[in-house]
Amino acid sequence: MKILLIGANGEIGKILKPEFAKNHEIISAGRTSGDFNVNITDVKSIEKLFEQIGKIDACICIAGDCYTGELLSLDEEKLNIGIQNKLLGQINLVLIGQKYLNDNGSFTLTSGKMGDKPVKNNVAKAIVNGGTNSFVLAASLELERGIRINVISPAKFADIPIHELINAYFKSVESTVNGEIIKVNY
């Protein structure tokens, strides 16, 4: 498979890239590194990325920033960090990228445990991760040409056994699951 991995040089990306590269062609993309640069907060940047790489079989996104802090410190500007970056960035990848996915291709987005098990000082993450999960559930009902979409929802990175994290992404890309929130280690 030809797989676009967005966020390939982040913590999770550095783990996933060599694992997927064993059996697949990996195209890496990131804000400042990778085979291609992309700013997922910018629709034009996403469009340019897909135009440059052409048809692919799968798109994995493990990119996106989000504000962490107590509710009293939260304001619209801080909330918009995650909404513009992680939530809308991933949604726009799907909206634009579906035209570039081959039939029966797949999208794998990334949310996080805070989407359904929030803890103090993570209201913004709860909103963004919950929104990402809901988008995947709804979009899976409407994507055409056999295109699938799932979301990986990991616990805190330091608490995850690496093999479980890798297996979750493989499940999303290589199996036939669709519209699933694949929870890792919680």
Using left for φ > 0, alpha for ψ between -120 and 50, and beta otherwise, residue 5 falls in beta
> Do the strands 25-30 and 101-110 form a parallel or antiparallel pair, or are they unpaired?
unpaired
**What is the domain-level CATH number for residue 10?**
3.40.50.720
Question: What is the secondary structure of 121-166 as a DSSP string?
Answer: TBHHHHHHHHHHHHHHHHHTTT--TT-EEEEEEE--GGGS-HHHHH
CA nearest 137: which of 91, 101, 93?
91
Residues 102-147 have pLDDT tens digits of 999 999 999 999 999 999 999 999 999 999 999 999 999 999 999 9
Give the total number of structural domains in the chain: 1
pLDDT tens, position by position, 24-73: 999 999 999 999 999 999 999 999 999 999 999 999 999 999 999 999 99
| Average of per-residue pLDDT values in the chain | 97
Q: How many whole angstroms separate alpha carbon 16 and alpha carbon 18?
A: 6
Q: Which domain holds residue 156?
A: 2-184
pLDDT digits (tens, 9 = 90+) for 66-91: 999 999 999 999 999 999 999 999 99
pTM of the predicted model over 0.85: yes
